Amino acid sequence: MENDLPARAAAYYRAYVDKDRAAIEALLAPDFHFTSPLDNRLDRAAYFERCWPNSGVISAFALENLVADGNRVFVTYDGQGEGAKGFRNTEILTFRDGQVIEVQCYFGWPVPHPAVPGGFIEPAAMAATTSRE
């Protein structure tokens, strides 16, 4: 599995669903960093303080795309929080020696999509539906 980066990426998301801190600890390099629209290059300690608690409410990830490109894996998924609406994100996981050294998270839309098929919503309404804090 060390050379199978998509499988290692899938294990990262499985750790959230399983609430398996030891599994994710083993996957993340000591110099790991996390970036999202709300987080600017959090180090490993800040990631575990700010992001890992979300594992408590994550019940599923449907991994739609796991595409390896060199030492990176591009992942698009639909996530499900327990008792909450779903969400769709894309992330880029960068690996070194089989461990994740960086995650870049790009927020998508809520699931189900707030616009009717063929329709759209105004940007201000979308901002209100995708707020993470």
pLDDT by residue (tens digit) across 56-73? 999 999 999 999 999 999
Q: Which residues contact 74 (CB under 8 A, 6 or more apart)?
A: 65, 66, 67, 90, 91, 92
Reported pTM: 0.89
**What are the tens digits of pLDDT across the range 120-131?**
988 876 666 555
How many alpha carbons fall within 13 Å on the CB side of residue 35?
8
The values of phi and psi at residue 108, to 5°, are: -105, -140
The confidence score (pLDDT) of residue 130 equals 54
Q: Domain map of the chain by residue range?
A: 5-130
User: Tokens at residue 81, please?
Assistant: 């929080």
Q: Which residues contact 118 (CB under 8 A, 6 or more apart)?
A: none
Class of domain 5-130: alpha beta
The confidence score (pLDDT) of residue 1 equals 46
Q: Please state, in angstroms and as integers, the Cα–Cα distance from residue 118 to each residue in 86, 121, 129, following that order.
A: 20, 11, 19
The confidence score (pLDDT) of residue 26 equals 98
- What mean pLDDT value characterizes the chain? 92
